[in-house]
Amino acid sequence: MTKIIIRDTNEIIEDKSPKGANFLYKNFFGRIILKIVNKRFISKIGGFYLNKKISTKHINNFIKDNNIDMSEYENTKYQSFNEFFSRKIIDGKRTFSKNKLDFCAPCDSKITVYQLDNNQEFIIKNKKYTLERILRDKDLANNYKNGYFIVFRLSVDDYHRYAYIDSGKLLSRKVINGVFNTVGPIAFDRYKVYQENQREYEVLETENFGTIIQMEIGAMMVGKIYNYKKKKFKRGEEKGYFLFGGSTVVIIIKENIIKIDEDILNNSKNKIETKVKQGNKIARKCNNV
């Protein structure tokens, strides 16, 4: 199991794979079934059901099973499970640092930081990832040699809305069709999730951190990634949200732009995720930028 450190308390917990994940990813017959259930049309079928009023019957058990503190969220009557899953948090519960040189988390998540090498490559569980293949754009990938590939992994108990990390403007957008593997650690032994899953990304020109890439990655049973597709945006402004299923936000940033906080760097090197909330500082702009 992957270890997670809750940054607020330094408590260490262990990641729990979703129900059925061990069977799907570690059992021969499960992997046969997986070839079907990770397809786009299956997620669409699941999403169709979870958008219906009948799906609200699952909400109370889901809250209980995942120990979700509903006091943080707006008090409303949900018309579907997906409406509950993408619920909004109460204003003021997620705030960004007022210091614009602080680089903050775009979402509630578990963070892992990977440094790209001169070939824009990095390793996860002995599998080599290439930024060019993730982005499907060689020229764009070349701009991020030796930069950071920062993974913000959401699980089902997290707040599933995400924000812009800085003010700026949109330069370009790309959608890449793919499958819907789980984004939990169990999948990384067998699949190159960031190169295979459904994903979309935007190239953003920011005021304080240069040109960054923010990518959203779909996961098993995530029927849709909803981005608002704004041409201009403000720091901390909501960028979009996921429907049901854990999923991932990735930020790719050029070298020598930020200095990652030491605890997050050390945890990442030791294959430990760091649990943070949206708006928490995770890095600082380098003095020489």
Q: Looking at the annotation, which residues are catalytic?
A: 108, 247
CA dist., res. 244 & res. 87, Å (int): 11
- Note whether 5 and 14 are within 8 A (CB): no
Residue among 106, 151, 131 nearest 268 (CA): 151
- Note whether 103 and 282 are within 8 A (CB): yes
| Secondary structure (3-state) at 241 | strand
- Note whether 221 and 46 are within 8 A (CB): yes
Per-residue b/e over 224-255, b at no fewer than 16 CB within 10 Å? bbebeebeebebbebbbbbbbbbbbbbbbbbe
What is the amino acid identity at position 146? N
β 3-6/272-276 pair status: parallel
Residue among 31, 25, 34 nearest 125 (CA): 25
Angle at 22 between CA 221 and CA 198, to 5 degrees: 30
**What tokens appear for 26 in the block?**
């570690």
